[in-house]
Amino acid sequence: MSGQLGQIVFVVWRESVEALLVVGILNAWLAHQGKTPEAARGKRFLWAGVSVGVILAVVLAAMLLFFGELLSDDGQELFQASMVLVAAALIVQMVVWMRRHGRTLKRELEEGAARSMAEARWWGLFVLALLAVAREGSETVVFLYGILAGGHIDTGSSIGAAALGGVLAVATYWLLQLGGRYLSWRLFFRVTEIMLLLLAASLVMSGIDHLISLGIVPVLSRPLWDTSGVLEDGGAFGGFVSGLTGYRARPDLTSLITYAVYWLFVILLLRRTTAKKAA
């Protein structure tokens, strides 16, 4: 499997698990209310919100593809570079958001559902489900567009990788629902947080490569070293590692500075987020 296909599998898997988590919490809360007319009505609003969220994500995907086709070759290259960098920024933002809200997400969702039931305002539950699915779906669309813009992958392989990610997401969610005997939410979010930050680093490097090819960002030096004898970033395994981490076997000064600045920014941002939570 190539690096880009690995990225697709991971993104669809991670985002689908998050969407399943939110919908699962709301659905389980409604199930605990018993077989009452209010709970049945709430479920209708819940699944209507899920459906509209999916539709919004599909519309966003169509808009991105349509807009990209309208641009010139250089315009498409610049648009793709922008989308790659936007995808990387969204991934970092998502990690920060989960650090802030991950522990209280279940309680906040259940409190919102309880208010909707108490006030007979099921549109609130509809909006909760819609925003959760639309958020994860739109992020997935942007991430996938950024990944596909970073390389050439045929449609069949992309669809297959996305399908595999979806299947893995369902399996992961099922394991997580077993009460943590096999896989805990805490471990899941900690491991995938690291993988997401590595993926964002890879997207940043891909975006910089696009900008270098357009002449917007200069190459500041020749390759500083060559580790291709140990791990070639163009080979099967090396390409996979490169696609998921941003690894370069022959980095120039521009690439090295970009990678270092990215990780410095991320470390400072996460430390600031942790300090705010502790305060």
Residue 111: other Cβ atoms inside 10 A:
12
H helices of the chain, in order, are: 3-31, 37-70, 73-101, 105-118, 122-149, 155-176, 185-213, 236-245, 253-278
End-to-end CA distance of the chain: 44
Q: What is the pLDDT of residues 65-83, one digit of tens each?
A: 777 777 777 777 788 788 7
Ranges of the chain with pLDDT below 50: none
The C-alpha atoms of residue 86 and residue 121 are separated, in whole angstroms, by 36
- Concatenating the DSSP letter of every residue in 166-224 gives HHHHHHHHHHHTTTSSS--HHHHHHHHHHHHHHHHHHHHHHHHHHHHHTTSS---SS-S
Dist. CA 113–CA 45, nearest whole Å: 11
pLDDT reported for residue 15:
78
Predicted local confidence at residue 117, as pLDDT:
63
Tell me the C-alpha distance between 197 and 5, whole Å: 17
Please state, in angstroms and rounded to a whole number, the distance separating the CA atoms of residues 245 and 227.
15
Closest CA to 91 of 103, 102, 79, 83: 83
pLDDT reported for residue 257: 94
In the chain, what are the domain boundaries? Answer: 3-278
Give the pLDDT of residue 101.
65
Rounded Cα distance between 29 and 95, Å, is 26
Q: Give the pLDDT of residue 262.
A: 95
With vertex at residue 140, the alpha carbon angle to CA 136 and CA 141, rounded to the nearest 5 degrees, is: 120
The b/e string for 243-269 (b: 16+ C-beta within 10 A; e otherwise) is bbbbbbbebbebbbebbeebeeebeee
- Residue 167 has phi, psi (to 5 degrees) of -65, -45
| Residues 202/92, Cβ–Cβ less than 8 Å | no
| Whole-structure pTM value | 0.70
Q: Do 25 and 110 touch, CB atoms closer than 8 A?
A: yes
* Side-chain-side CA neighbours of residue 127 (13 Å): 7
Q: What is the pLDDT of residues 126-182, one digit of tens each?
A: 877 787 787 777 778 777 777 776 556 666 777 788 888 888 888 877 776 665 566
